[in-house]
Structure 1
Amino acid sequence: MTARAASDRLAFVAGVVAAAPGERVLEVGCGAGVLVTELAAAVGDGRVVAVDRSARMAAAAARRNREAVDAGRVRVLAAPLLDADLAGERFDAVVAVDVRAFWTPPAPEWDVVARVLDPGGRVVLGFSVMRLDDRDRVRAAVARVAGERGFAVTAAAEAATAPFPTAAVEVRRPG
């Protein structure tokens, strides 16, 4: 079975993440693993850990990325981020697409991110812009909730994807 190409929105988010060879990337809410495939290709011999609270979606992500899973370059976990066994792993980047938990208080997911993100690492949150106010509302909410954990929005981007535009914010710890 041939894996389908990433959607325009996931390809856009992968471009914003700009994962480099050798990096370690955590994807939260990986769904069927489409973005995992893009990230695994970008990091080469690096590592991607994918987490999804749905066992069905995690199984689909593992099937889609079977070769990389078997090679030990991708690990897929079926658990909410708060319960995921990250085994002391550290990451250069954390990415999530349309995972509202990152901008909806109390957002304890940021505590996990703060623990696993390497100094200088980045967080990229992609989201669909379905209403005119989504762009500014979600960016402000991310800035507020992430800011409570010592993170700051450092970049924002948007693409005219179908059926809705996709926006992304990059978040880092200052300094």
Structure 2
Amino acid sequence: MSVTRSIFLRAFGRPRGFLGRLGGVIMARTNADCGAWVTELLEIEPGDNVLEVGFGPGVVIQRLVKLVSVGRVAGIDASQEMVEQARTRNRAAIQHGHVELRLGSVERLPFDDASFDKALAINSMQVWPDAAAGLREIRRVIKPGGRIALGFTRYSGQPREGVVEKLVTAGFTNARLVETDEWFCILAAKPD
């Protein structure tokens, strides 16, 4: 692994230590607007149960809390540093039982089958150890008819090509690409 890739992963992929804390500050700024756009595309409703995979410093979780007034918001992240930052940022919602943030892997989600109406990931899939397994796990925890959105900034390193096909291979339907000059998102649904 190159030194540059190692630094990138320590700051943004699986943040830890000083670089991880710095990466969290940067991600809070760079992912917030893309996350807002993706939540609009996903059409989050007040009663939805929503999962964010790779929530980073928790800025999108913060937005979801405002949109989901009677449902619940849950998240999983592989970085202890990001779990701590997100828990600090969302302390009140966690204390009120509205948000649950866990340390863990997308390949082994600690949630029951058909637990969520919607799931999203912002700038995260490109660092999952096994994207195909992660997408299958997300499909497992989404309710029939539920929706998924994978959003990426132009700095994510994730190519547009092939993401729609990965979702279809994982069992999602109606997969489509939506893009702007700054971001792109793949939306799909779990069959009924």
Task: Give the TM-score of the pair, scaled to structure 2.
Answer: 0.74
Deviations 1:8-54 (A, max 9, x none): 22221221122101100000000000000111110112101011100
My pick for the range that moved more, 93-102 or 54-63, is 93-102
1: CA distance between counterparts of 2:118 and 2:110?
17
Q: 1:134 to 1:153 in 2, by over 3 A?
A: farther
Q: Which residue of 2 aligns with 1:170?
A: 187
Show the counterpart of 1:25.
50
* Equivalent in 70, 80, 87 of residue 55 of structure 1: 80
Shift of 1:156: 3.0
Please say which of residues 121-130 and 83-92 is displaced more in the overlay. Answer: 83-92
- The match for 2:178 among 157, 160, 164 is 157
In structure 2, what is the equivalent of residue 147 of structure 1?
168
Q: How does 1:1-175 map to 2 (within 5 A)?
A: 7-87=32-112, 90-101=115-126, 107-130=132-155, 134-135=159-160, 137=161, 141-160=162-181, 165-174=182-191
- Compare 148-157 and 118-127 and name the one that shifted more: 148-157
Structure having the higher helix fraction is 2
Contact 1:101–1:107, Cα closer than 8 Å, also in 2: no
Alpha-carbon distance in 1 for matches of 2:168, 2:127: 12
Q: TM-score, normalised by structure 1?
A: 0.81
d(CA) in 2 for partners of 1:106, 1:38: 25
Residue 159 of structure 1 aligns to which amino acid in structure 2?
T
Would the aligned equivalents of 2:106 and 2:128 in 1 still touch at CA under 8 Å? Answer: no
Relative to structure 1, is the Cα distance of residues 103 and 155 closer, same or farther in structure 2, using a 3 angstrom cutoff? farther
Query: Residues 24 and 48 of structure 1 are in contact (CA less than 8 Å); yes or no, is this contact kept in structure 2?
Result: yes
Structure-1 residue corresponding to 2:19: none
Describe the SS at the equivalent of 1:134.
coil
Which residues of structure 2 form unaligned runs of 5+? 1-27
Structure 1 residues 39 and 106, CA gap change in structure 2 (3 angstroms): closer
> Percent same amino acid among aligned pairs?
29
Q: What RMSD, in angstroms, separates the aligned Cα atoms of the two structures?
A: 2.6
Aligned residues: 163
